[in-house]
Amino acid sequence: MPRGQGADMAKHMFNLHYRRIDEAADMRRYYLLSLQTTLFGDIAVTRCWGRIGRRGSEKTDVFSSEQEAVRHFLELARLKRRRGYRPVPDIAAIEGNSHLMVATATMPVSIRRQ
């Protein structure tokens, strides 16, 4: 797909919310994965992760083709599932992360730093 042809992605953005809790190992982690169009028409895969209740990390990978971005998005999702992360039905279920503000499926994911 030519550069800038990802305009349809703006209508269909994807967000996955995972968490992994293992009380025996004192592990309470979250992982947010989003696929969205950038202002320049590229496709971005953004991931945010960390301990529930703490400020985490963020990384964004930008792709010129939708196929590459979707392939990367799905591979990251598969890796997290293999490592024991499970989907969270609602972002509110990740309590204590007030610095995260995740919008609906038609709006971009934004991170508000305090």
Ordered by where they begin, the domains of the chain are 6-93 (2.20.140.10)
Residue 13's pLDDT is 78
Distance CA(9)–CA(89), nearest Å, equals 22
Residue 90's pLDDT is 62
> Could you report the per-residue pLDDT of 15-71, keeping only the tens digit for each?
899 999 999 999 999 999 999 998 988 999 999 999 999 999 999 999 999 999 999
Residue 14's pLDDT is 83
Q: What is the pTM of this model?
A: 0.67
